[in-house]
Amino acid sequence: MDLSSINPILLVASIMVSATPILLAAIGEMVVEKSGVLNLGVEGMMITGAVIGFVVAINTGAPLLGFAIAAVAGAVVSLSFGVLTQVFLSNQVATGLGLTLVGLGLSSLVGKPYEGMKAETLPKLDIPVLSDLPAVGQMFFSHDIMVYLSLLLVVAVWAFLKYTRAGLILRAVGESHDSAHALGYKVIRVRMMAIMFGGACAGLGGAYLSLVRVPQWTEGMTAGAGWIALAIVVFASWRAGRVLIGAYLFGGITVLQLNLQAAGMTWGVQYLSMSPYLITILVLVLISSNRAKGSHNAPASLGQTFHATR
C-alpha cells in the first residue's frame, strides 16, 4: 500500500464534484419532507433532469441553459406527483415509487437518440486571487459554478427555514397540517410549491451527473443516486447543515474507498463502502429510540394525507 500516491488536494476536489448531485437532490427533498410530504420519486426526477439537461445542452451548446431547463423539467414531473397526492389524495409512497418508474422509462425514451454523444461541459471557474492560492485554491476555488450554487442553496434553505415567515409557515404545515389549515394557511399550495422546489433541485442534480460528472447520457445513469439522497435526508434528521455533511460524507466515502484501492489497499474497502448506510440506520435507531428528542426532528405530518374537510 502506498498512501503517498493519494494527493489530498485532488481528493478533496473530486469529493466536492462527486457529492454535488446528491447534495442538490437531498436539499430539495429535505424541503419537501419539511412540508410534510414524502416524495420517493427523487430518482425519477433526477434522471428526468439528467436527460433533459443533456438534450438541451446538445441542441443549444449551452450547458447552463441545460441546467435551467432540467430544473424546470424536474419541477414539471414532480407537479404530477403533487397533483396526484395533494388534489386526488393518492398514497404518497406508491405515487412516489410510480414517479421513479415513470422517470426511468420516460428518460430512456427521450434519451435514445442521444446515446454516445458528447455535450459541452461547464467550464471551471477562475476566481481572481482565490483560485491562485496554493493548495486551497485547487481544492475549493477551481470548480464549476454548480458546485458553488449547491452550497449557496444549502445556506439559502437553512436561512429560509430558520429566519423567514414563509419558512415558518412551511414548517408549520409539515408539523401539523390541520393546525396550519385552521390558522388560514393554504396547506396544499405550500406543499405544491415545496414539491416543485424539490423536483427542480433533483433535476439540477441529475443534470450535474449527465453534464459534468460523467458527462454523457446513458440509460439508467443515476443508478440509485436518488435513493442515496433520500437516505441523506434521514441521516441529516431534516437539517440543512447536516444534509451538507451527509452528502459530502456519502460522496466522500465512495471517492475515498476508490482512492484507497487505487493506492493498493484491499482490506476493509467493503466496510468503508457500506459505512454511510450503517450510519443512516444507526441515526434512524437513535431518532426512534429517543422520542422526546426525535419528535422535533422528523416533521410530525410527514407522509400523511391532508384533506381540508377532515
Partner 1 sequence: MIRRTLLASAAAAATLVAAPAMAQDPTEACFVYVGPIGDGGWTFQHHQGALAVKEEYGDAVNIRWQESVPEGADAERVITQMAISGCDIIFTTSFGYMDATNAVAAKFPDVKFEHATGYKREHPNVSSYNGRFYEGRAVVGHIAGKMTQTNKIGYIASFPIPEVVMGINSYFLHAQKANPDVELVVTWVYTWFDPAKEADAARAMIDQGVDVITAHTDSTAPLAEAAKEDGAVIGFGQASDMAAFGPTPRVASIIDDWSPYYIKRVGAVIDGTWEQVDSWAGMPEGEVVIGEMTDVIPEDVRAEAQGMIDAITAGEYHPFTGPINKQDGTPWLAEGQVAEDGELLSMGFYIEGITGDIPN
The verdict on 286 binding partner 1 (CB under 8 A) reads: no
Return the closest-CA partner of residue 55 out of 124, 144, 102, 115. Answer: 115
The verdict on 6 binding partner 1 (CB under 8 A) reads: yes
Residue 91: CA count within 13 A, CB half-sphere: 4
Whose Cβ is closer to partner 1: residue 38's or residue 256's? 256
Return the closest-CA partner of residue 30 out of 42, 17, 48, 21. Answer: 42
Give the one residue of 80, 138, 142, 273 binding partner 1; rule: CB under 8 A. 273
Q: Which stretch binds partner 1 (CB under 8 A): 143-151, 212-220, 239-247, 281-289?
A: 212-220
How many residues bind partner 1 (CB under 8 A)? The answer is 41
Give the one residue of 115, 290, 293, 295 binding partner 1; rule: CB under 8 A. 115
Give the one residue of 60, 216, 297, 305 binding partner 1; rule: CB under 8 A. 216
The conformation of residue 302, written as its DSSP 8-state character, comes to T
Whose Cβ is closer to partner 1: residue 220's or residue 241's? 220
CB contact set of 94 (below 8 Å; sequence gap of 6+): none
DSSP alpha helices (H): ranges in 85-186? 92-111, 136-140, 145-163, 165-175, 177-182
> 10 Å Cβ neighbour count for 222?
32
Q: Which stretch binds partner 1 (CB under 8 A): 33-41, 73-81, 137-145, 265-273?
A: 265-273
The verdict on 223 binding partner 1 (CB under 8 A) reads: yes
- Owner of C-alpha cell 460528472: 213
CB of 310 to partner 1, least distance (A): 40
The verdict on 291 binding partner 1 (CB under 8 A) reads: no
Give the one residue of 221, 229, 283, 298 binding partner 1; rule: CB under 8 A. 221
Return the closest-CA partner of residue 37 out of 2, 83, 86. Answer: 86
Give the one residue of 58, 255, 283, 298 binding partner 1; rule: CB under 8 A. 255
Q: Which stretch binds partner 1 (CB under 8 A): 127-135, 230-238, 269-277, 283-291?
A: 269-277
Q: What are phi and psi of 117, to 5 degrees?
A: -85, 160
Q: In the chain, how long is the greatest CA-to-CA distance?
A: 66
Distance CA 284, CA 293 (A): 12
Which cell numbers in the block locate residue 115? Answer: 446515446
Return the closest-CA partner of residue 288 out of 278, 297, 279, 277. Answer: 297
Site residues for partner 1, 24-83, by CB under 8 A, read: none
The verdict on 275 binding partner 1 (CB under 8 A) reads: no
Rule CB under 8 A: which residues touch partner 1? Answer: 5-7, 10-11, 14, 18, 21, 108, 111-112, 115-118, 209, 213-216, 218-225, 254-255, 258-259, 261-264, 266-267, 269-270, 273
